[in-house]
Amino acid sequence: MELQRLPGFRDFYPDDRAWLNYIFDCWRKTATSFGFSEYDGPTLEASDLYRKKSGEELKTQLFRFVDQGDRDVCLRPEMTPTLARLVAAREREFKKPIKWFSIASFFRFEKPQKGRLREFFQVNCDLIGDNSVAADAELISLAVQMLRDFGLTGQDFYVRLNDRRLWSEFLKRRKIDLSRTTEFLNIIDKLEREEKDRTAQKLGTFGLTLDDIQEFLRTPGEQLPGFEDLFRELQWRGVAEYCQLDLTVVRGLDYYSGIVFELFDRGKENRAIAGGGRYDQLISVISDGAVDLTAAGFAIGDVVLRNLLEELNHARAIAQERMTGRGLRGYMVIAAESHRPEAIKLATRLRSAGISIDFPLEPAKVGKQFQAAESLGARYAIVIGQEWPEVRLKDLRKRAETAVPEAELESALKSEN
């Protein structure tokens, strides 16, 4: 019996790692283009960091243990508390608004299934110290752009947008105890999935009926000042058409205080690709009131995203193209072993110039070497033979071969085509 991989964890063989790199590169490029700076934090955090902001149920989903120093620690299940800690600790060093992103791995002890594993990666983008609707719009716009950069379109995904304050107002107006907000939002969250009877029964404990809710759902968000401003901001950014108001989107986390949104794929699966919102009180809570900064952010996970990119033909084609573009530039075919020393010196020089080069470590037949070049995905074969110092440069895609003096090889390999 061989050693097994832990359930919910993945190996990343080169093909898988290429996918991950492609996704990371895309995330990083887009976040940077919006003026966000990359940061990171530790993978392991004190358990208290997560207890401060959440309920008791959390602990079954944490990778939690006591270290050799008798500290109660957790593998991070999300980035936001770490971010809040970082910002709270050195808040005055950074000009506002703080626009940061990170690409990191997270751990949750859950039952693995489609789109949900025990270790996964997320890009987290947060905008801190600005509570304008422009900040909200900026984040939504960034989330949309991040998906568009993978070749996804409005045909593939859309944004479900809501503001929790709409429900807060709703509760206030009906004189319902606001301390039960979380309980209430949980019912709203399940509105589409749970049986109507069950929902009605739960609502009954609030003195509400299903009709009360349905009626409120039909009335758009003009009841909250600022929502029109938000949509105007979204329009300026060209992302309003991706968004639709959906009051049933509330998101599970307690700490969301304003807008919340999720990006869904339009396929029948309808899974959330990304989610986020405004959490104006969290930094204050984490820092025990020392620092009070408004904030909003979102995260995109790698698992659902990759599933989706592989399912959609156009997105998969783009991914394949961008991933193979980074292959080997030249494979050196050493046809004359007597020139191996020169060949290796040449390869070393080309590599120093940033050109990816490989060659056989031991003598091999020329045919074999060409096969190797082919299977390694090399763009060019460089044949080192008796003609040295002249070499033969063969374009493996075009199947065309030319003679090139070795001194000119570098520029020949660098020229685009």
Contact 130, 87 (CB under 8 A): no
Q: How far apart are CB 294 and RNA at their closest, in Å?
A: 19
For residue 356, the number of C-alpha atoms closer than 13 Å in the C-beta half-sphere is: 10
Considering the complex, what minimum distance in angstroms separates the CB of residue 222 from RNA? 27
Nearer to RNA, 174 or 397 (CB): 397
Give yes or no for a contact between 355 and 330, defined as CB atoms under 8 angstroms apart.
yes
- Nearest residue (CB) to RNA, 23 versus 373: 373
Q: Nearer Cβ to RNA, position 174 or 365? A: 365
Comparison of 182 and 219: residue with beta carbon closer to RNA:
182
The CB-of-328 to RNA minimum distance in angstroms stands at 12
Residue nearer to RNA on the CB measure, 28 or 64: 64
At its nearest, how many Å lie between RNA and the CB of residue 398? 7
Nearer to RNA, 175 or 268 (CB): 268
For residues 311 and 265, is the Cβ–Cβ distance under 8 A?
no
Nearer to RNA, 208 or 300 (CB): 300
Q: Which residues bind RNA (CB under 7 A)?
A: 1, 4, 7-8, 50, 57-58, 61-62, 77-78, 108, 110-116, 186, 189-190, 193-194, 251-253, 269, 275, 299, 335-336, 365-368, 370-371, 373-375, 381, 383, 385-387, 392, 394, 396-397, 399, 401
Interacting residues of 190 by C-beta distance below 8 A, sequence separation 6+? 199
Q: Which of 334, 382, 340, 374 is nearest to 357 (CA)?
A: 382
Of residues 79 and 142, the one with the C-beta less far from RNA: 79
Least distance to RNA, CB of residue 62, Å: 6
Question: What's the closest the beta carbon of residue 324 comes to RNA, in angstroms?
Answer: 10
Backbone torsions φ then ψ of 165, nearest 5 degrees: -65, -20
Residue 50 C-beta: closest distance to RNA, Å: 6
Distance, in Å, from the CA atom of 274 to the CA atom of 143, rounded to the nearest integer, reads: 8
Buried b / exposed e across 293-306, counting CB within 10 Å, b at 16+?
bbbbbbbbbbbbbb
What is the DSSP code string of 312-333? SHHHHHHHHHHHHTTS-SEEEE
Alpha carbons 47 and 63: distance in angstroms, whole number: 10
Per the CB < 8 A criterion, the answer to whether 302 and 12 are in contact is: no
Residue closer to RNA by CB (options 190, 314) is 190
CA distance 400 to 100: 49
At residue 102, what are phi and psi to the nearest 5 degrees? Answer: -145, 155
Instruction: Name the minimum Å distance from CB 305 to RNA.
Output: 14
| Torsion sign (Cα): 349, 350, 356, 358 | negative
365 DSSP β-pair partners: none
Nearest distance in Å: CB 1, RNA: 5
